[in-house]
Amino acid sequence: MTERQNIGTAGDSADVVVLGAGPAGLVLGNLLLSSGIDCVIVERAGREHLRARARAGFLTAHTVRILDRHGLAEDLHRHGREHGVCEFRTEDGRFSLDYGRLGSGARHTVYPQQELVTSLLTRFLDSGGRVHFETEALAVLDADSRQPSVTVRAADGRPGRWRARYVAGCDGRHGAARRSLPPGAVRRYHRDHGVSWLGLLAEAPPSLDAVGYAVHHRGFAGHMARSAEVTRYYLECERGTSAADWSEERIWDELALRMRAADYGPLSTGRISQAEVFALESDVLDPLRHGSLFLAGDAASLISPSAAKGANLAVLEAELLARALVEDLAHGDPEPLARYSAQCLEHIWRAQEFSLWMIRLLHGTPGSGGESLFQDSLRRSRLRSLRQSRTQQDWFAENYAGV
């Protein structure tokens, strides 16, 4: 396998320059390559960093079908685990939902994102794909023309430029694709949900056979299995809190309290290998296109992790964009590209709506006044409906396990 580390010269070109080697960029790159479209991926991080970067781990059935459809799911089926149960722990007791038997009957596949990225990257390189690691995309130029270009800088500081027919911005909310959009080119929809989480990766076996959502007066706590030896936990924390403020002893004490371990059994503990505080935000751009520049993944929209939608939206968007680019470049049909943004936004807004519903379900309202009491009573009512109503459970299952 050849690993291309160096950027090209100012004369380098490709039909499609893909910015970012996350799930969106790598699915897009693989689909373009298999269709005979000349493409190159530019990635700021090094290869080993990509392989180790822990992110989401729950793939919907539709995402698995997309990967299956294009022969990209072999490692997923070998190492992923199907999952279909979640458990809620509240002040009114606990209850489980076998969502794999509700709604449309869809289940998740637990497959850590770094493993998906590693598999997709290996497939792309083995198929002759070009990836330029440790190469920062600086700006997309002339996106409103038929000959856009991307200026880049390698790790050693050398500049370069890639010319393309199209540029696919899959480089996240702070990447060059978003930064290069001129004022007024798109409309931005943004919401800060006023909630912060301490995201944790623990070298500890899962403590539940289910995804665990704990609603507590001290704040939300979440439990998500990643593998037989690693578990993802979340703790709601005050805005402005630093991960350094949380010792391992404090983390495990607070998790045990909020997960009600005294009532339902102790948590498996281990070394905390990753801790990061982040705010729950939603961010959507419309349209997801400016001329010859298209956006996918976190560059197109940001969604809170409360409903595990980010990576799944990225894969869906990558397939839609790949199909549209192939139709244009191989068959001269520009109509699918014209429809790309509207198609994606339909899925994005549905996912955003469910994510907001989950945020309201899992979190209390700060304060002790009438508004707080009112909102918390509504939250308890939602939980009771989810516990008792089959109609509500079917709705939850369809949205939770779908995009």
Express the helix, strand and coil content of the chain in percent, nearest 5 each.
Answer: 40, 30, 35
Three-class HEC string of 190-236:
EEEEEEEEEEEEEECCCCCCCEEEECCCCCCEEEEECCCCCEEEEEE
> What residues are annotated to the active site?
83, 213, 305, 309, 400
- Buried (b) or exposed (e) across 183-198, using 16+ Cβ within 10 A? eeebeeeeeebebbbb
The sign one gets for the Cα dihedral 203, 204, 205, 208 is negative
C-alpha gyration radius of the chain: 22
Q: What is the DSSP string of 247-258?
A: -HHHHHHHHHHH
CA distance 63 to 117: 14
Give residue 384's Cα distance to chain centre: 29
